[in-house]
């Protein structure tokens, strides 16, 4: 494997780590939104999770960020596989 290929693979690994770090708070947001929507029933552990607007915002924003991260992660995986197969 030549140096440019190794550098490109290392760059892809760093990008994948960044995407995973961005995805973590989105997962928490989605989880809190699902808890507030389906499990809390007006008796959440934090008062803001009883507000329907906040819960819907958490669901939408968390879901959107997670979707973006999934798309980005898949595209980086495809790039990594192409580089490794060369």
Domain boundaries, the chain: 3-85
**pLDDT over 60 (residue 14):** yes
C-alpha distance from residue 20 to each of 7, 26, 53 (Å): 20, 10, 27
- Note the pLDDT tens digit of each residue in 48-79: 999 999 999 999 999 999 999 999 999 999 99
Q: What angle do CA 40, 42, 43 make, to 5 degrees?
A: 65
């Amino acid at each position: 494997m030549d140096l440019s290929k190794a550098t490109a693979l290392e760059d892809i690994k760093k990008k994948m780590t960044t995407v995973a770090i961005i995805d973590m708070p989105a997962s928490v947001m989605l989880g809190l939104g699902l808890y507030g929507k389906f499990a809390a029933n007006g008796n959440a552990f934090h008062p803001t999770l009883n507000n329907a607007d906040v819960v819907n915002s958490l669901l939408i924003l968390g879901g959107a960020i997670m979707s973006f991260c999934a798309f980005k992660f898949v595209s980086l995986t495809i790039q990594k596989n192409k580089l490794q197969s060369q």
